[in-house]
Amino acid sequence: MTRLSVNINKIALLRNGRGGNMPDVLQAALDCEKFGAEGITVHPRPDERHIRYSDVRTLRPAVRTEFNIEGNPTGSFAALVCEVLPDQVTLVPDAPSAITSNAGWDTIKNRVFLTQICSAFKSRGIRTSIFIDPDPRMAEGAKICGADRVELYTAAYAEQYAADREKAIEPYLITAQKVQELGLGLNAGHDLSLENLEYFVKTITWVDEVSIGHALICDALYLGLEKTIEKYLTCLL
């Protein structure tokens, strides 16, 4: 069964919009675990507009499932990862000004940098995943860089799903087959939802983990967090 990691950035974004501690990010993470989530994902950015570095430090000893930190591995982010030692770090090439992640790594052009980063994190016992577009060459590059896993950037799949789901998933299936051939682990994330998730994991059955935040938190506004997580877990059965 593919594991569900809940990205709680949007919980922090709501809190930061008003100040104070409502909603409580730590309590939300613990509730996600209580309701069946098998991981918690955070993506701290330099401006701390949602998850703050202090949140990461608070969450690390409290999270009992897999703790996954996403981000661009430069400067203070890399130092934070080495400080808190998450179970997994996902390397994402987002610019500081990006509203959300909008592309995967070019693992060929950035081979030297990514190899150094993967080595640094793995030497501290952190499983390292590289965020890539659905391109077998990028998976091969990630293997050369020393990654343990890749995470497929699924925005294009989500955008094309309603029009032609078979066509939408084709490049992901081809890339996932290459990932499996290379012996890498396989994660997926970005714009996965109750509409498109089940087809993705039923077609690519060896996905280890999906990271879902925006759609899940939006659904929780209507259904409640417990019912929403239950529905996502059902998609992964």
Q: pLDDT (tens digit, 9 = 90+) per residue, 124-143?
A: 999 999 999 999 999 999 99
What are the pLDDT digits (tens) for 204-213?
A: 999 999 999 9
94 falls in which pLDDT band (50, 70, 90)? confident
Write the CB contacts of 78 (distance below 8 Å, at least 6 apart in sequence): 117, 120
User: Whole-angstrom Cα distance, residue 95 to residue 72?
Assistant: 8
What are the pLDDT digits (tens) for 3-28?
A: 999 999 999 999 999 989 999 999 99
Query: Quick one: pLDDT at residue 99?
Result: 61
Query: Quick one: pLDDT at residue 97?
Result: 65
| High-pLDDT (> 90) share of the chain, % | 93
What are the pLDDT digits (tens) for 43-55?
A: 999 889 999 999 9
Confidence check: pLDDT of 100 > 70: no
Closest CA to 6 of 43, 44, 60: 43
pTM above 0.85, yes or no: yes
What are the pLDDT digits (tens) for 154-188?
A: 999 999 999 999 999 999 999 999 999 999 999 99
User: Whole-angstrom Cα distance, residue 187 to residue 189?
Assistant: 7
Q: Which helix (H) or strand (E) holds 41?
A: strand 39-42
Query: Quick one: pLDDT at residue 3?
Result: 98
Other C-beta atoms closer than 10 Å to the C-beta of 176 total 25
Please give the backbone phi and psi of residue 100, each rounded to the nearest 5 degrees, phi first. -150, 170
Confidence check: pLDDT of 98 > 70: no
Is 194 in a helix, a strand, or coil?
coil
What are the pLDDT digits (tens) for 191-224?
A: 999 999 999 999 999 999 999 999 999 999 999 9
Instruction: Specify the higher pLDDT residue, 102 or 79.
Output: 79
Give catalytic residue positions: 43, 70, 190
Query: Quick one: pLDDT at residue 103?
Result: 84
The domain limits of the chain are: 3-235
Confidence check: pLDDT of 57 > 90: yes
Q: What is the CATH number of domain 3-235?
A: 3.20.20.70
Confidence check: pLDDT of 75 > 70: yes
Is 97 in a helix, a strand, or coil?
coil
User: Whole-angstrom Cα distance, residue 100 to residue 43?
Assistant: 10
Give me the chain's average pLDDT, please: 96
* Residue 36 CA from chain centroid, whole number: 17
- Within the chain, where are the H helices? 9-18, 25-34, 53-62, 75-84, 111-122, 136-145, 155-160, 165-182, 197-203, 214-223, 225-235
